[in-house]
Amino acid sequence: MPFCCQCGQSVGTRDVYCAACGGRQPSAAPPAVEYMQGISPRTASLLCYIPILGWIVAIVVLASARFRDNSRVRFHAFQGLYLFVAWLIVDWVLSPMFGFWGPFHHVFPALFKAAIFGAWIFMIIKTSQDETFKLPILGDLAEKSVSEQR
């Protein structure tokens, strides 16, 4: 049973103020909640490749203390982020650029988007089988990003 920090009378464990003197009691800070506690490394890696939304999971994985020392999970998080950046480049840069090229202006951006979408699906399959696969350019960037943070 705790005691008041000012008068020494016994107080409850959840009391904010002492009943005898009215002094404010120091409250113990609640323990930090690890929001990634129940997620396995394989699941965290897999979630980084969800098309369009995986970048959010990748940022959460990179920010979590649980996976700070797991270079494999961090590799997948960076590679998932770079895949999303490639999608944005196709959507925001290449699509408008090809927009001026006649009747087939949607063909090339659609092919690039299909390739990136296929890479997402391929990486989901590889990661679910607990394999690490390095995509041609993005994998090198992801490895470099992981090695720079050590």
Secondary structure of residue 27 in the 3-state scheme: coil
pLDDT tens digit sequence for 53-64 = 999 999 999 999
Under 8 Å CB-to-CB from 76, ≥6 apart: which residues?
44, 45, 46, 48, 49, 58, 123, 127, 132, 142
Q: What is the pLDDT of residue 30?
A: 62
Mean pLDDT of 25-54: 83
* Domain boundaries along the sequence of the chain: 1-30, 41-148
Query: From CA 34, how far away is CA 55, in angstroms rounded?
Result: 20
Tell me, what's the pLDDT at 132? 93
pLDDT single digits (tens) 99-132: 776 677 788 889 999 999 999 999 999 999 999 9
The per-residue pLDDT for 27 is: 74
In the DSSP assignment, the letter for residue 104 is: G
Percent of residues, the chain, with pLDDT higher than 90: 61
3-state secondary structure of 46: helix
Write down the pLDDT at residue 5: 84
Record the pTM.
Answer: 0.75
pLDDT at 105: 75
